[in-house]
Structure 1
Amino acid sequence: MATLAFPHAAAAEPVHLPRNVEAEAAMLGAMMIDNRLADDIVDRLEPMHFYEPVHGRVFAAIKTLRGQDMLATPVTLRPMFEADEGIKELGGVAYLASLTGSGAGLIGARQFATQIYDLAMLRTLVSVGHSMVDRAMDTSEEVNPRAQIEAAEEELYRVAADGGAENSVKSFAQASTAAVKMAEKALNWGGNLSGVTTGLDSINSKIGGMHHSDLMILAGRPGMGKTSLATNIAFNAAQRWMRDMRDGIPPAKSVGAKVAFFSLEMSADQLATRILAEQSRISSEALRMGKISKAEFEQLAAAAAELENLPFFIDDTGGLTIASLHTRVRRLQRRHNNEIGLVVVDYLQLLTGSGKGDGNRVQEISEISRGLKTLAKDMNVPVLALSQLSRAVESREDKRPMLSDLRESGSIEQDADMVWFVFREDYYTAQREPKRPMEGDEARVFEDHARWAADMERVYGLAELIVAKQRHGATGKVVLKFDPTITRFSDYAGF
């Protein structure tokens, strides 16, 4: 259960904060009279939800005793409060017995718990409001209204998301209904797709699509094409959504998705250039340089017109914090009727944490990877995050990545539901091209070059997607085609 800092009676406030101290006392008395009620309530509340600090400490003591399977009564609680200064002000340990005096709370204990929580939320809203006003009025430091708005949204979301443990508990009937719906979706789409499509049949067959609430890590060394593959997948999902909507398929049954793409490295126009190059089949380099014919420009204009309604939203703000990323995804969800179905982050190491890790980069990456997994679960969408690999790959003869090659790998590997590596052997083979021969050495070098050319022909234009971790199925690899001129990955027909 998320924890929030709720103001309580000890704090000095200019106005009376929302509270019901009598309901707190009645509920605690009922919990001590009937420990079965205590077992039901202890997971709904936290000590900071109580306005009266003593009541919060009594609640915490009851929770501790019940956690140890011990009776929680005024008698068993007495030793824990004999030195408590707060309870002395209320009449000493006899106050514990007085809580059970009337037994009036037995009937409405659960309703009291709900009211106590709701009032605590209202106090938090008051606190958030005060801090918003204080920050907005303070011009002694750098004025950054957008950052203040994002911070306020994050605080408000924490209040809204902390709905008590009962909100996260589902009956088996609810869970099994969701599982059956997922299986039905997979059956309807040919038996190999229960999540959001990647647009590549070979990858869909391996992973079953990108599943809601999953964190997927796509990693590779520079030059392998990880941004290209992520862009291809994101575009395919958005294009499929657009086509399904045009065909009258209900959003719940579509295997496409509206996409939120957070590009911390490339600008929005660079990403758009890649997508247009892929769709118009014009070299992205030629597009950037303007070296295209009139006919090619017409192809480009046609592709742009066809894609103008593509549900693909790009945020190219640099230096985002993990909290800001959450805020921006939630904002997009509100604007688009909660239909954002895929979030892509390029790339993980360019996000920043809360700054509370004392400069420890490993701790910061741990916070970021946990934050991305939390985002996937809270928003119930797949999150595809790109990641760098360490240089250890370059020192091995076999350049195929392994899980241990992930930079700051421990937390990333642990938090991810799937880890993919993209690997192109032709990239490394091209670097091994024999140098020009010295005089008298032509024959040997010619033979070496012929072997190299044969190797290059064998691997050119091929890529591997290595599924190194998958919670839902087997690991393995998928062979893909890659066209570097238009940065496009596609299914490979055969060997």
Structure 2
Amino acid sequence: MGMTAEKSFLGTIIKANYLISDTVIRAEHFEGTRHQELFKVMVDMIQKGKTVDLISLTTLVNLESFGGISYINELLSFANEEKFEEIEDLILESWKEREKRNILVNASSEDWEINKVIGALDKINESKVDDHTSIEDALTKMYEAPWQEKAINKGIPTGLKVLNAMTNGFQNDELTIIAARPSMGKTDVVIHFAKEAGWQGYLPIFFSLEMPEQRITDRLIASTGRFNRMKMRNPFKDLTDSQKTAWSAVIGRVSDTKIQIFDSPGQSVGEIRAKTRKMIQQFPNRKPIIFIDYLTLIRPDNFYGGNETSQASEISRNLKAVAKHFHCPVVVLSQLSRSVETRQDKRPMMSDIRQSGSIEQDADLIMFLYREKYYNPDSDDNSLEIIVRKNRNGPVGTVYTRYNEHTGEILDADQGTV
């Protein structure tokens, strides 16, 4: 398995050169000597600004030492960009196993004490390759802290003043869960957040696992242009003359968001990571923020005998890891269980999250949506409450907004009309 993983890793790098700058793998992690040497050559070529591909590799004077062109073709046949993270893990695990065997051989030949053996094995088990900070480096950053005003760590704006004040925006490395009952306005809320992030110069990457791209695009246009969504079914017939006049400006405004939409159903977290990495490479000057609609539609890596709580827990842990890996916010929609409908006060609580499992622990920010009109359709109440139940780095409370269910527009409670 280890050698197959190494072939897949090298083939994927040849196919997608940008991955080499993001990987934690080093030459010494490979078992195969020629894999070590080939990786060093590839790193050297990319550092010199050269492209690593089938053609450039055929020009290597020592190509035969790597198995010749036939072996390069074989490596390419193992390429799998979407499984790149898993391939890295396999290589690292194989390296750890070899290191542990070496320790046991040395311990036997040199007659180590048992505590030394255990300590060495623990060090390998706990080893990470990309998270080292010496205490000297850590303290250097803190040395002037008492004499310097600390900059406020402003996150990606939400477009809502009160919510910004409460959360300081969406923060890097943080997982946000937005949960509500069906048709409460979840998708419109996350589209609002994505637009606002895009207009502020960030890169919204939108994974729509239920709704096709066309419907997302329709909602973006409708909420931006304040068009009734029903008119998006046939703009030629249903838009007014004034709306048609404004159409090109609205399209331009939506285009400015630079939102990237992926709408394949049943995507795994590994696929989400691979596609995110590709977008980061394509837009190097924009900081990403990931939106996913919604959590339980993500395909888990393991089946767990059909245990949905265990599957959801795996997914939430992996999404938190994605936020930390890309040093960006990850915002995920989630559904609520029907238990909320049995209470007199139907404002959601933490226990209402479906298959909550470790979601409550993994999330840094948990927000619920509540609309009175959802339960009283005849009401003219257009308010939408964003209830912050968990905020790891700030206060909790309720943010009052106004929501136009026909256009999808969301505004602060004291801002204009919807």
Aligned mates of 2:357, 2:73 — CA distance in 1:
37
Contact kept? 2:178, 2:366, Cα under 8 Å: yes
Contact kept? 1:200, 1:491, Cα under 8 Å: yes
1:280 Cα shift?
Answer: 1.3
Q: Can you list the C-alpha shifts for 1:119-168, whole angstroms capped at 9, x where unaligned? A: 2246499499999948948xxxxxxx8xx432246524876998626536
2:382 equivalent to 1:422? no
Q: Which position in structure 2 is the counterpart of 1:412? A: 359
1:271 Cα shift?
Answer: 1.2
1:323 Cα shift?
Answer: 1.1
Q: 1:406 to 1:176 in 2, by over 3 A?
A: farther
Q: Which position in structure 2 is the counterpart of 1:172? A: 138
2:230 equivalent to 1:264? no
Residues 36-435 of structure 1 mapped to structure 2, 5 A cutoff: 118-121=27-30, 123=32, 126=35, 133=74, 136=77, 148-152=80-84, 154-156=86-88, 164=129, 167=132, 171-173=137-139, 176=142, 183-185=150-152, 194-241=154-201, 257-290=202-235, 291-337=238-284, 339-430=286-377
Aligned mates of 2:356, 2:251 — CA distance in 1:
39
Contact kept? 1:422, 1:466, Cα under 8 Å: yes
1:288 Cα shift?
Answer: 1.7
2:403 to 463, 467, 482: 482
Q: 1:325 to 1:157 in 2, by over 3 A?
A: farther
Q: 1:339 to 1:123 in 2, by over 3 A?
A: farther
TM-score (norm 2): 0.70
SS of the residue 1:298 aligns to: helix
Aligned mates of 1:492, 1:177 — CA distance in 2:
43
Aligned mates of 1:407, 1:124 — CA distance in 2:
49
Aligned mates of 2:337, 2:346 — CA distance in 1:
12
Q: Which moved more, 1:204-213 or 1:289-298?
A: 289-298
Q: 1:212 to 1:394 in 2, by over 3 A?
A: same
Aligned mates of 2:281, 2:330 — CA distance in 1:
18
Structure 2 runs not aligned, ≥5 long? 8-24, 40-70, 94-126
Q: Which position in structure 2 is the counterpart of 1:40? A: none
Q: CA RMSD in A?
A: 3.6
Aligned mates of 1:346, 1:182 — CA distance in 2:
39
Aligned mates of 2:242, 2:221 — CA distance in 1:
15
Contact kept? 1:260, 1:340, Cα under 8 Å: no
Q: Can you list the C-alpha shifts for 1:435-477, whole angstroms capped at 9, x where unaligned? A: xxxxxxxxxxxxxxxxxxxxx34xx100110000010012111
1:359 Cα shift?
Answer: 2.7
Q: 1:328 to 1:343 in 2, by over 3 A?
A: same
Contact kept? 1:332, 1:340, Cα under 8 Å: no
Aligned mates of 1:178, 1:342 — CA distance in 2:
31
Higher CA-based Rg:
1
Contact kept? 2:310, 2:357, Cα under 8 Å: no
1:199 Cα shift?
Answer: 1.0
Q: Can you list the C-alpha shifts for 1:268-327, whole angstroms capped at 9, x where unaligned? A: 221111111112111111122431123212212221134334321111121101111111
2:391 to 442, 457, 470: 470
Contact kept? 2:177, 2:334, Cα under 8 Å: yes
Q: 1:117 to 1:488 in 2, by over 3 A?
A: closer
SS of the residue 2:385 aligns to: strand
Aligned mates of 2:144, 2:160 — CA distance in 1:
25
SS of the residue 2:305 aligns to: coil
Contact kept? 1:217, 1:418, Cα under 8 Å: yes
SS of the residue 2:320 aligns to: helix
Contact kept? 1:125, 1:156, Cα under 8 Å: no
Aligned mates of 1:158, 1:216 — CA distance in 2:
29
The structure showing larger relative contact order (alpha-carbon pairs under 8 Å, at least 6 residues apart) is 2
Q: Which position in structure 2 is the counterpart of 1:105? A: none
1:175 Cα shift?
Answer: 6.0
Task: Say how many residue pairs are matched.
Answer: 327
SS of the residue 1:409 aligns to: coil
Q: 1:410 to 1:168 in 2, by over 3 A?
A: farther
Structure 1 runs not aligned, ≥5 long? 8-12, 14-115, 138-144, 187-193, 242-256, 434-455
1:356 Cα shift?
Answer: 4.9
Contact kept? 2:390, 2:396, Cα under 8 Å: yes
Aligned mates of 2:346, 2:366 — CA distance in 1:
17
Q: 1:399 to 1:376 in 2, by over 3 A?
A: same
1:375 Cα shift?
Answer: 0.3
TM-score (norm 1): 0.59
